[in-house]
Amino acid sequence: MLKRLTPRLIIIGIAIAIAGILLYPTIRYETLSQEEKNQLRQQGELAELESKIIRRGLDLQGGIHLVLEVDVPTLVQNIATNKSQQFNQVFAEAESRISTSEEPFLNLLQEEATQADLRLVRYFPDRGVTNEEVVSSLREEANDAINRALEIIRNRVDQFGVSEPTIQKVGNRRIIVELAGIQDPARARDLIQTTALLEFKLLKEPELVNETIQKIDRVLRREKGQLAETLGDTTAGDTISVEDTSDVEEGGVAREEAVSVSELFGEVGGDTAGQDTTAAESTVVVDQQVFEEKPFTALLRNFQNQIGVPQKNRNAVQRILNMERVQKVIPPNSEFLWSSNADPLPGATGGNQEFYTLYMVNEEASLQGGVVTDAQATLGGTGSQAAGQPVVYLDMNSQGARTWGRVTGANIGRRVAIVLDDRIHMAPVIRSKITQGRTQIEGMANMEEAKDIAIVLRAGALPAPVDIIEERTVGPSLGSDSIRKGTMATIIGLILVLVFMVFYYKLSGLIADFALVLNLVFILAILAALGATLTLPGIAGLILTVGLSVDANVLIFDRIREELRKGKTVRAAIDSGYGNALRTIIDANVTTILAALVLMQFGTGPIKGFAVVLFWGIVSSMFTAIFITRTVYQMFVERSTVQELSI
């Protein structure tokens, strides 16, 4: 007689076996000690194990919570063309009012432009005629930029490998990002905030670079007081290594002498009588004679036919380049940019010092990174200059390949800088025309940096910078406390339901309890299979499922009781009870499933986590309450002649 139940038993057995296989990685992971986890991490096996476990959300295991705001003023500034002094003044006035006004920036810009009788159409062509029309067009552009930023951040985070992140738009300018289980918050912040503006810029001719440096030297000789203040504005205790580059052989060492700024230029900043200036006074190590004649050149170093700047001198050089009078002698369509990393220069004073490379490039890019279709991080091949070093290979679309071919074909023999977010990663010499758009970026510090650059290039550049206006780190202590309380609530709720079912339905209640335990196992197995994340709302959904899962059995058991009161046999009462209650059970659960589906589709964060657990909990409970409990009843009835049923 039991042969009829064999297919049912096989199905139940397979379901239990699959659930056990799916839950094994989670059970193994939770039972590992920290030492064992570290050992697996060193062997490279922990990541594979973690990919198969039930993940915990931000509220259970900690992570970071960020509130980002899109920098609309910078977006508008980047869109504007032919900017005049009057426009810059109006823009600055509008930007200064942001902190004290609740009005959006574009409204403030429109007000300031109207008051100054400034026609915005001059700077934003093809966006309307009146200021109202131009601002309306810019507002649409800003909204589109925020939506694009949302998608780009989502793509970056997905490729970063964070499980079940929360990324949602709030209002018109803000985006909330929640990343659970992040081990390196700084890296995640950098990945999200990086604008990833990739540009290819031609380097200026050496003759023009030398001429510009000489002009800067002349400006500084005339304004030694301002230079003294600039160099003196450093961190207390810093020593700036300043060396001659024009009269020293490459790799050689200049004559150096430790001299304070005040000794070079006299007292700076007025009367300092009665003040202790020793701690705040910076010293510079210079070849004093060269420094007197060529103040800017003395800060630089010539190596490998490039402009090198000792790491300690970098801030001083940047301050000089930012000086207003220095900016005026830099040729049009020209700018100075730094290398992404400092490199050692063997033979320098004090051992292998770190040197940045300073480049003078075209301000206008020959090609931008919007044409990049793919970016992959790998190690340089054997035989190349970057053999064994992290590199990123770029592929371009047809338009980019044509432009790149035209640029490289017209500038053979010149150097082109590959710039990412105003940092130059490399500046190779163009040897031949590149027609396929296949390009290689070198100069990454490590493979992680190369992978992050590849991610942001594949995901696209942010249309405007995003600022972190709020950051909260959820610590592991909060996660442990949440897990403990959530687990305790689940256990208490489960025990109460189990006890009630046994007390009210006796032996039949035990059968329902067995199905309830299996239901919990199946739910957790489904979460593990889907790679879903368990959160506090998810635990709430699990507790709710505990109550709902026995609801079907309550309906069935009451119908069986009614049939037994009518005088039917146990077998007939069971068949009739399941048959009559089935329609009601399906009706009740389908409506709950529909509600869960709506929450899954349109909900975000905690709501979605609750809905996922609720949906699969209802599906699993229908299987256990209807299929498994009836199979147990049939086994009981088939084995012997039952005259009474404990229910």
Per-residue pLDDT tens digits for 4-62: 778 888 899 999 999 999 999 888 888 888 788 778 877 767 767 877 888 777 667 77
CA distance 478 to 180: 13
Q: Tens digit of pLDDT for each residue in 63-90?
A: 788 888 888 888 888 788 878 888 888 8
Query: Are 629 and 502 in the same domain?
Result: yes
Arithmetic mean of pLDDT, 248-253? 40
* Average pLDDT of the residues in 305-317: 80
The whole-number pLDDT of residue 413 equals 82
Question: 413-445 burial, b for 16+ CB within 10 Å, e for fewer?
Answer: eebbbbbbbeebbbbeebeeebeebebbbbbbe
Beta strand segments in 2-62, E: 55-56
Residue 281 has pLDDT above 70, yes or no: no
Least reliable range by pLDDT among 94-103, 592-601, 634-643: 634-643
Question: pLDDT tier at 244 (50, 70, 90 boundaries)?
Answer: very low
| Tokens encoding 387 | 């053999």
Among 176-190, 270-284, 428-442, 569-583, the minimum mean pLDDT is found in 270-284
Beta bridge partners, 355, equal 310, 343
> 69 and 150 share a domain?
yes
Q: Considering 473, 495, 525, which residue would you say is the last residue of a domain?
A: 473
Neighbours of 408 (CB within 10 A): 21
- Does residue 252 have a pLDDT over 70? no
pLDDT at 18: 93
Q: Tell me the Ramachandran region of residue 388: left when phi exceeds 0, alpha when psi lies from -120 to 50, beta otherwise.
A: left
pLDDT single digits (tens) 477-497: 555 676 677 778 878 888 888
Report the pLDDT averaged over residues 313-320: 82
pLDDT at 164: 60
Examine residue 494 and state whether it is found in any structural domain, yes or no. yes
Q: Is 141 within 8 Å of 79 (Cβ atoms)?
A: yes
User: Interhelix angle for 131-160 vs 72-79, to 10°?
Assistant: 120
Percent of the chain with pLDDT over 70: 77
The domain that contains 599 carries what CATH number? Answer: 1.20.1640.10
The answer to whether 300 and 293 have CB atoms below 8 angstroms apart is no
Position with higher pLDDT, 350 vs 13: 13
pLDDT of residue 269: 38
Same domain, 41 and 164: no
**In a shared domain, residues 501 and 633:** yes
Which of the two residues, 433 and 445, has the higher pLDDT score?
A: 433
pLDDT at 43: 73
pLDDT reading at 379 higher than 60: yes
Q: Does residue 216 lie within any of the structural domains? A: no
Residue 644 has pLDDT above 70, yes or no: yes
Mean pLDDT within 634-639 = 76
Give the C-alpha distances (Å, rounded to integers) separating 95 from 68, 72, 518, 624.
18, 10, 61, 63
Nearest C-alpha neighbor of 469 from the set 152, 171, 197, 57: 171
On whether both 97 and 53 belong to a single domain, the answer is no
Whether 70 and 53 share a structural domain: no
Across 257-266, 589-598, 625-634, least confident range = 257-266
Lowest mean pLDDT across 11-15, 166-170, 371-375? 371-375
Q: What is the mean pLDDT of residues 393-419?
A: 83
What CA–CA distance (Å, rounded) separates 375 from 483?
40
- The CA-atom distances, in angstroms, between 143 and each of 70, 171, 175 are 10, 10, 12
Judgement on whether residues 579 and 487 belong to the same structural domain of the protein: yes
Supply the mean pLDDT for the chain: 76
If asked whether residues 188 and 80 sit together in one domain, one would say yes
123 and 149, same domain (yes or no)? yes
Range of the domain at 563: 2-58+476-639
Q: Where is the domain boundary, 411, 444, 473?
A: 473
| Alpha-carbon span 520 to 617, nearest angstrom | 8
**279 within a domain of the structure (yes/no):** no
Residues 52 and 71 in one domain: no
Residue 300, domain member (yes or no): no
The proportion of the chain whose per-residue pLDDT surpasses 90, expressed as a percent, equals 4
The two tokens of residue 118 are 């400034």
CATH classification at residue 153: 3.30.70.3400
Q: How many domains does the chain have?
A: 2
Q: What is the mean pLDDT of residues 92-108?
A: 85
Q: For residue 21, what pLDDT is reported?
A: 92
- Per-residue pLDDT band for 226 (boundaries 50, 70, 90) equals low
Choose the final residue of a domain: 473, 497, 521.
473
- For residues 523 and 542, the answer to whether their CB atoms sit within 8 Å is yes
Whether residues 492 and 608 fall in one domain = yes
| In the predicted structure, residue 335 carries a pLDDT above the cut 50 | yes
pLDDT band at 286 (very low <50, low <70, confident <90, very high): low
Question: Can you give the length of the chain in residues?
Answer: 647
Domain contains 241: no
Closest CA to 592 of 567, 565, 570, 622: 622
Output the pLDDT for position 16: 92
| Mean pLDDT confidence for 93-120 | 86
Task: Give mean pLDDT, residues 305-334.
Answer: 84
Long-range contacts formed by 269-273: CB under 8 A, 24+ apart: 269/229, 269/232
Confidence of residue 454 (pLDDT cuts 50, 70, 90): confident
For position 369, what pLDDT does the model report? 66
Residue 476 has pLDDT above 60, yes or no: no
Q: Quick check: 517 and 95 in contact, CB under 8 A?
A: no
Report the distance separating Cα 30 and Cα 136, nearest Å.
Answer: 55
- Measured between alpha carbons, how far is 52 from 324 in angstroms, rounded to an integer? 59
The reply to whether 597 falls in a domain is yes
Closest CA relative to residue 302, chosen from 259, 362, 243: 243
Asked if residue 562 belongs to a domain, the reply is: yes
**Which has the minimum average pLDDT: 44-48, 229-233, 515-519?**
229-233
Tokens of 85: 């002094």
Q: Does residue 258 surpass a pLDDT of 50? A: no
CB-based contacts of 546, cutoff 8 Å, min separation 6? 490, 493, 494, 497, 516, 520
Greater confidence, 330 or 449?
330
Name the pLDDT band for 446 (thresholds 50, 70, 90): confident
**Cα 557 to chain centroid, rounded:** 53
- For residue 388, being part of any structural domain is answered with no
Residues 84 and 32 in one domain: no
pLDDT in tens, 521-561: 999 999 888 877 777 788 888 888 887 788 888 888 888 88
- The maximal CA–CA distance of the chain, rounded, in angstroms, is 117
